[in-house]
Amino acid sequence: MEAVATDFGIQKALEQLGVNEINEGTSTGSNNFSNGDIIESFSPVDGKLIAKVKSTTKEDYEKAMQAATSAFKTWRLMPAPQRGEIIRQFGDKLREKKEALGKLVSYEMGKSYQEGLGEVQEMIDICDFAVGLSRQLHGLTMHSERPGHRMYEQYHPLGVVGIISAFNFPVAVWSWNTALAWICGDVCIWKPSEKAPLCGVACQNIAAEVFKNNNLPEGISCLINGDYRVGELMTKDTRVPLVSATGSTRMGKIVAQEVAGRLGKSLLELGGNNAIIVTPDADIKMTVIGAVFGAVGTCGQRCTSTRRLIIHDSIYDKVKDAIVDAYGQLRIGNPLDESNHVGPLIDTDAVGMYQNALTQVVEEGGNIVVEGGVLSGEGYESGCYVKPAIAEAEPHFNIVQHETFAPVLYLLKYSGDVENAIDIQNNVAQGLSSAIMTNNLREAERFLSHAGSDCGIANVNIGTSGAEIGGAFGGEKETGGGRESGSDAWKIYMRRQTNTINYTTELPLAQGIKFDL
């Protein structure tokens, strides 16, 4: 394999992570196997081939599932605090390899190195959360209506949890699911995005090392690689009681129908069309910081990226001018260079969607206030670098109603009170993240009330992008309704059971029913 970006230490990072020239696409740990086609992973940073991964065949998938179902029989019997010790060790391994994995995330996906490090930190944080959770998988005790009876409920492991992750967070979202599923006693089989397969290989290598050191079955963590056809093997498999899928709404609808058809459970975290409401009482400086990072961070490829800025007409021009001025200071280039703010889109297909969005907003009557465009020349050879763009638009525009996974920000104007802004925000099909910028307590509380934001995430005086692992993450409507990460999101990875114990010598029936023999 040709050395790549050696000035940023990429080659060394690949070696530390065990990402070789050709990696197997199906793995249950250290024993890799695959007979599938080759997937080539090209970096959007410079267009170079990083490495190759073999895709998973149906036969390969069956071997992985057999390993997973066998490992589950061992893993589920280990007390949860002991499973927590394994997750603690996994978190420590991530700390050791944080720099290397962060660089791989940045180089294979295209987000800034600081964001790559932040993504690995999310993995570490969810491990810490899971360790604490290992002693808190609690149920409830209820009073029985029958004398001499005790009622309680408990949670048991589900079994094999299937995970389908997207390219924009190639490692963090997997860990959100995996750390909690492992703590709950489940085993996992993971299909990472075919656009970032090497991140999956790297994570699998780290996990396999921890399991091997503890003499645990490799099948606790399984990896499969490939396109949607590999994902279909999992969504159709009755041995997989839960499928957690992150990606587009279109993909989520397909997964939901397939899994529901066999009466399985799905956890969906899908598209977002996130807005920040800016009221007359907003702090403009804070608004600019939150809006600009939300719109251009990860080159607009976060599910929580800010797509719409809903600004009161009394301060519209002032906010617009401040945002436009901030965009003029953005530096676009190699994301491993920490002086740059914006890296590339994931591939040229994403560039095409970006260009189509800018064309469509003008056709619908919008006005471009910060010109977009594809960058070329030295440093932009991959063809994936674009200029973050801003367009004035109307809420009803078709393009504004849809999510464009690119750095395109729409400025929308509202008048009157905050209820009008909330109506504009909620009048889209998606319901992931939302925010309001205001120093008015009444406006803030109205935004957070039952009649306020209809999103799964609602923030005051911070942007839409970014979330701490302590809170449940997810959204409503076409975002899918799933919740991952913190709070009580762990419950979806377990099956709930109600128990009643009779410690008397009589057998009274519920509701006072008499049945004498």
> How is 332-369 classified by DSSP, letter by letter?
BS-TTSTT-SB---SSHHHHHHHHHHHHHHHHTT-EEE
pLDDT tens-digit profile of 144-193? 999 999 999 999 999 999 999 999 999 999 999 999 999 999 999 999 99
Q: How far, in Å, are 131, 397, 456 from residue 179 at the CA level?
A: 9, 41, 22
Query: What number is the average pLDDT over the span 246-264?
Result: 97
Residues 63/47, Cβ–Cβ less than 8 Å: no
Decide if pLDDT at 32 tops 70: no
Give catalytic residues, as residue numbers.
269
Beta pairing, strands 265-269 & 242-246: parallel
What is the predicted pLDDT for the residue at 4? 41
pLDDT averaged over every residue in the chain: 95
DSSP state of 393: -
For residue 366 the two structure tokens come to 């919008």
Q: How far, in Å, are 46, 165, 421, 455 from residue 174 at the CA level?
A: 26, 6, 35, 23
What percent of the chain shows pLDDT beyond 90? 94
Region of residue 511 (phi > 0: left; psi between -120 and 50: alpha; otherwise: beta): left
What is the predicted pLDDT for the residue at 30? 43
The rounded Cα 103 to chain-centroid distance in angstroms is 19
CA–CA separation, 498 and 152 (whole Å) = 6
Angle CA 54–57–60, to nearest 5: 95
CA–CA separation, 90 and 124 (whole Å) = 8
Query: What number is the average pLDDT over the span 477-490?
Result: 97
Closest CA to 129 of 73, 171, 189, 175: 175
Residues 262-296 as b or e (16 or more Cβ within 10 Å = b): eebbbbbbbbbbbbbbbbebbeeeebbebbbbbbb
> How is 204-245 classified by DSSP, letter by letter?
HHHHHHHHHHTT--GGGEEE---SHHHHHHHHT-TT-SEEEE
Half-sphere exposure of 339 (CA within 13 A, CB side): 0
DSSP state of 374: B
pTM (2 decimals)?
0.95
Half-sphere exposure of 275 (CA within 13 A, CB side): 31
What is the predicted pLDDT for the residue at 7? 57
274-472: CATH topology is: Aldehyde Dehydrogenase; Chain A, domain 2 (3.40.309)
pLDDT tens-digit profile of 82-135? 999 999 999 999 999 999 999 999 999 999 999 999 999 999 999 999 999 999
Q: Where does CATH 3.40.309.10 sit in the chain? A: 274-472
> Among the residues of 48-163, which ranges form H helices?
58-75, 80-96, 98-109, 113-133
Class of domain 6-270+480-496: alpha beta
pLDDT tens-digit profile of 37-49? 999 999 999 999 9
For residue 404 the two structure tokens come to 């464009």
Q: Where does CATH 3.40.605.10 sit in the chain? A: 6-270+480-496
> Among the residues of 328-462, which ranges form H helices?
348-363, 398-401, 418-426, 441-448
Decide if pLDDT at 279 tops 80: yes
Host H or E run for residue 397: none
